[in-house]
């Protein structure tokens, strides 16, 4: 038996259809398309989550972005850049999340 996906671990017993869509459509199809590299998809996703103020989802996507080749410095630059396009409060919230995520990665 395979290890549960992040969506299965988070909400599998509560919202199985949302897990199915996340695993099969979002990550099984959209993220797997050849038109963009995973690194680029991560950069776009992190920027969008910051712009939307979706800091809860930002945690896992910052980790995925690192796995997909983005550096801590590049991700900090995204946040700094978005401070002027998405808003200072959203950037401050995002940098706080990033600081925690990056510290966990070091520990």
Domain boundaries defined on the chain? 1-33, 37-106
Closest CA to 57 of 73, 46, 43, 42: 46
Class of domain 37-106: mainly alpha
DSSP letter assigned to residue 14: T
Instruction: Please report the pLDDT score of residue 105 as a whole number.
Output: 73
> How many residues in the chain?
107
The string of pLDDT tens digits covering residues 44-69 is 999 999 999 999 999 999 999 999 99
The string of pLDDT tens digits covering residues 2-50 is 899 989 999 999 999 999 999 999 999 999 999 999 999 999 999 999 9
The burial class, CB within 10 Å (0-12 / 13-18 / 19+), for 13 is exposed
Instruction: Please report the pLDDT score of residue 2 as a whole number.
Output: 83
Above 80 in pLDDT, residue 94? yes
DSSP letter assigned to residue 26: I
Q: What is the pTM of this model?
A: 0.90
Residues ≥6 apart with Cβ < 8 Å to 19? 5, 7, 8, 11, 12
* Token representation of residue 98: 């990033």
More confident residue, 28 or 106: 28
Q: Please give the Cα distance from 90 to 72 (Å, whole number).
A: 18
Closest CA to 43 of 29, 26, 61: 61
């Amino acid at each position: 038996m395979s290890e549960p996906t992040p969506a299965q671990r988070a909400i599998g017993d509560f919202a199985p259809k949302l897990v199915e869509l996340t695993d099969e459509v979002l990550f099984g199809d959209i993220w797997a398309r050849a038109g963009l590299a995973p690194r680029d998809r991560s950069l776009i996703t992190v920027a969008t989550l910051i712009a939307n103020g979706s800091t809860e989802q930002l945690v896992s996507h910052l980790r995925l972005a690192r796995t997909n080749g983005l550096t801590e410095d590049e991700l900090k630059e995204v946040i700094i850049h978005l401070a002027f396009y998405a808003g200072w409060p959203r950037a401050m919230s995002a940098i706080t999340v990033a600081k925690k995520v990056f510290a966990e990665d070091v520990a």
